[in-house]
Amino acid sequence: MVRGFYVACLVVLSSVAAFSQVKSDPATVTFTLDFPGSIPGHYSFRIDQSGAAHYESSGKTLPEEEQDDSFTYDFAASEATRQKIFDLAAQLGYFQKDLDSHRKNMAFTGKKTLMYKDAQRAGTTTYNYTSDVAGQELTGLFQSLSATLEFGHRLEYAHRYQKLALAEELKKMEESSRTSPIVEVQAIAPILRQIINDPGVINVTRARAQRMLESPPKGTN
């Protein structure tokens, strides 16, 4: 009888522990894009409700390259971006509905998949193009964030192996920011600081990196 009591207690404790684990798992939003022939041809984000973010991509980083490259990066999303992502996920019903417009003769712009998961619900939707305004905003946010991280990836490679290419990359980045402010520049702050603090990099390039680092964040409201 005593043994049975202990067994029952263990079962209850195990159930409570399992419930606590499930309950403590943070909500996550995942975005994946597959677009063969584009740069990069594949990338994905996984962002949880704390702001912890994981990015990975594969494919060419430049049109002239022959071999594919794989890139992974962990960073902390800003509060504004994290809040925007989860607010839009809520507006989109946590991706439990079909977002694709299903328009005929629509140009292929990549297979996009959004996933949401928390302790109470889960949803997945795949689309080429969505006419939903919130869906367009969330897609654009992830695409802009990917562009920022890929800029950082190219800067890191150039800084390590081809410093003369830094000037051109930063020039492109600076010109791009004039029409479309960089999203989450703080995510690539480490490589920008390395360039700024490197006396082996010409002053003009270091100044551009400094301007990028100090550029105002893109609004996500």
- Taken in order 97, 102, 107, 111, the sign of the CA dihedral is positive
For residue 17, is it within any domain? no
Whether residue 196 is contained in a domain is answered as yes
* Distance set, CA 51 to CA 24, 79, 84, 152 (Å): 15, 7, 11, 19
The count of other CB atoms within 10 Å of the CB of residue 4 is 8
Q: What are 66-102's pLDDT values in tens digits? A: 677 899 999 999 999 999 999 999 999 999 999 999 9
Q: Structural domain of residue 39, as residue ranges?
A: 22-214
Q: Are 66 and 86 in contact (CB under 8 A)?
A: no
pLDDT at 5: 43
Q: Does any domain span residue 220?
A: no
Distance CA 152, CA 55 (A): 12
* pLDDT tens digits, one per residue of 118-128: 999 999 999 99
Tokens representing residue 167 in the block: 């000037």
Task: Kindly report the backbone phi and psi dihedral angles of residue 129, in degrees, each rounded to the nearest multiple of 5, phi listed first.
Answer: -140, 140
In total, how many domains does the chain have?
A: 1
Rounded to two decimals, what is the model's pTM? 0.84
Closest CA to 144 of 176, 173, 114, 182: 182
- At 62 the pLDDT is 67
- Split at pLDDT 50, 70, 90, the class of 217 is low
Is 94 a member of any domain? yes
4 in a structural domain: no
Confidence of residue 166 (pLDDT cuts 50, 70, 90): very high
Residue 9 lies in a domain: no
Sorting pLDDT into bands at 50, 70 and 90, what band is 142? very high
Asked if 141 and 81 touch (Cβ cutoff 8 Å), the reply is: yes
